[in-house]
Amino acid sequence: MEYPETALGPFDVAKVVRPGDAYNAAINSSNTALGAAFYNNGVGHSFFSRPVSMGGDGKGWISIEEVLVRLNTSYTPNGKFARKSDHSTPDAQGNSTWIGYDAAICVELFEPWIVEVYNSTIGQPITMRIVEPGNEVRSKETADLDDSEKLVGLPLSVTDSDASRRLNSSKLADVYVTTHDNSVNQLLKVVSYADGKGPLGYTELSAPYFAQARGLADASNMLPYFAGTGEILARRYSDRIISDTTLNPLFMSVYLAIIFLLGLLAGLFVPKLPLDIPHRGFEMYSWMAAFYADELIEIGRISGIQKKMELEEIAEQMGDLKFRYMDLPIRRGPKK
């Protein structure tokens, strides 16, 4: 980025200070590069944008973004300001309050970058990584690219002459101006650019926070409008299969047969499980006996269900009785 030509010459105070305004003599104009005038409208945050490049070179936009903060000290008990008003204003209780002033400046760049995207067949394309800056995908003849890459099929200039080879910002100045103003209007709703929290949490204007807020706001409010519908040149790499799996029918049949035999032996020839636990099946009574044993014992005081009863005994004891389990605490009486 080159230094703006408007900042190379001497600073002209007359272009910033309006008639009737006082100029602080302590400011050294020889050390001042840029200045901005803000209306005395009482707005807490005032913005000023200074374009450096409007995208005429086709490589994006550059602007200098400035913000002026004006807050009453009654709303900022922990606030720090670069300057305060010369005269105080009493609040509703008669206490003296001042207007605190502070400013921040940052440089914002809109420039193209080449990214790597994975185009999944089951969802939206996903950005994997940033490859390099630039508005054009390099050709295969570039020296630092992999020599093993080969062109498949005819060049794009033959198969699709309407496709673009590079991103170009030279014809999008109107889009930039409109979306930029809209993004600034969204930023007017921001309370502060400080690290405090809550309505009275303003501490001190932070230039990094301001730059981060501008970048996030413009990325959300501006970048979507730069997306077009035309085709553009890209490098495509097919997925390479590096592993696969196969199923051996013989081994799988033997494995399933062993599992079946073990289940048959456990169901027919083993009377009880370890720790003297009775058999359970997949029927409703088995699930109830497995997960709601304590509750069934409470019910058993009436219906006759006891601990370690076999499945057949539970079914015989319950018969055709219909009941519903309610997940409520059961009042247990003292043990006798």
What percent of the chain shows pLDDT beyond 90? 6
Q: Which two tokens stand for residue 223?
A: 């970048």
Q: Give this prediction's pTM.
A: 0.58
Model confidence band, residue 23 (pLDDT cutoffs 50, 70, 90): confident
pLDDT of residue 328 exceeding 60, the answer is: no
Q: Which has more pLDDT, 235 or 46?
A: 46
- Residues 105 and 48: their CA atoms lie apart, in Å, by 9
Query: What pLDDT score does 284 carry?
Result: 61
**In the chain, alpha helices (H):** 156-159, 173-187, 207-221, 249-268, 284-291, 293-303, 311-318
Comparing 162-171, 277-286, 304-313, the range with the smallest average pLDDT is 277-286
Q: Which two tokens stand for residue 190?
A: 């921001």
In the block, which residue shows the tokens 């703006």?
4
pLDDT of residue 293 exceeding 60, the answer is: no
Q: Which has more pLDDT, 3 or 67?
A: 67
Query: What pLDDT score does 308 carry?
Result: 67
Query: What pLDDT score does 59 carry?
Result: 85
Query: What pLDDT score does 252 carry?
Result: 93
Taking CA 12 as the corner, what is the angle to CA 82 and CA 214, rounded to the nearest 5 degrees?
A: 50
Model confidence band, residue 8 (pLDDT cutoffs 50, 70, 90): low
3-state secondary structure of 100: strand
pLDDT of residue 185 exceeding 80, the answer is: yes
Query: What pLDDT score does 95 carry?
Result: 85
Taking CA 164 as the corner, what is the angle to CA 53 and CA 147, rounded to the nearest 5 degrees?
A: 105
pLDDT of residue 134 exceeding 80, the answer is: yes
pLDDT tens digits, one per residue of 265-278: 776 765 666 666 66
Q: Which two tokens stand for residue 160?
A: 């699709």
- Residues 56 and 51: their CA atoms lie apart, in Å, by 12
Q: Work out the burial of residue 85: count CB atoms within 10 Å of its CB; fewer than 13 is exposed, 13-18 middle, 19 or more buried.
A: middle
Q: What DSSP element (H or E) covers 83?
A: strand 83-84
Phi-psi region of 197 (alpha: psi -120 to 50; beta: other; left: phi over 0): beta
Comparing 25-39, 75-89, 307-321, the range with the smallest average pLDDT is 307-321
Average pLDDT of the chain is 76
Q: Which has more pLDDT, 210 or 299?
A: 210
pLDDT tens digits, one per residue of 135-183: 877 765 555 555 556 667 776 667 777 777 778 888 888 999 999 988 8
pLDDT tens digits, one per residue of 202-256: 788 888 888 888 888 898 889 888 877 777 777 777 777 788 888 899 999 999 9
Query: What pLDDT score does 11 carry?
Result: 73
pLDDT of residue 325 exceeding 50, the answer is: no
pLDDT tens digits, one per residue of 79-91: 888 888 888 888 8
Query: What pLDDT score does 150 carry?
Result: 65
Arithmetic mean of pLDDT, 194-200: 68
In the block, which residue shows the tokens 């519903």?
324
Arithmetic mean of pLDDT, 6-30: 73
Query: What pLDDT score does 330 carry?
Result: 47
